[in-house]
Amino acid sequence: GDPSYALYASETGAIFESLAARATLLHETLNSLEGYSCTPLAGAMYAFPRVRLPPRAIAAAKQQGMAPDALYCLELLMATGICVVPGSGFGQREGTHHYRTTILPRDEKVAKVARLLTDFHAKFLDKYGHDDLQ
């Protein structure tokens, strides 16, 4: 091989290791949250977690003329600056709520996102209720 191959292999390996660590952190964080479920991120740069929402949040969204997952995403953005895409725009199954997020931010930023998301979700459930998540 080419003299630059060792450097290329090292840099590429570090990038893939970092992406794998971010995927693991995000997957574990999402699945630790009440009402969340997320499949492992295998080979993708996106997570598409399911979020079970309280009936009061669903009613508040309908009252504002928006999908429940859009309400969740908007409140997340306003409270934390984290921008995710509501799953309702992807043709999700009726009665389910999702959003799409990515693992592309650098390691330290993904760790911060995990902390902010955890805090936000707890406050969201405190606001709208923990019972009968749908």
What are the pLDDT digits (tens) for 111-121?
Answer: 999 999 999 99
Residue 79 pLDDT > 90: yes
Q: How far apart are alpha carbons 99 and 5 in whole angstroms? A: 39
Rounded to an integer, what distance in angstroms lies between the CA atom of residue 22 and that of residue 50?
19
CB-based contacts of 129, cutoff 8 Å, min separation 6: 54, 55, 56, 57
pLDDT tens sequence across 22-55:
999 999 999 999 999 999 988 778 999 999 999 9
pLDDT of residue 50: 97
| Residue 22 amino acid letter | R
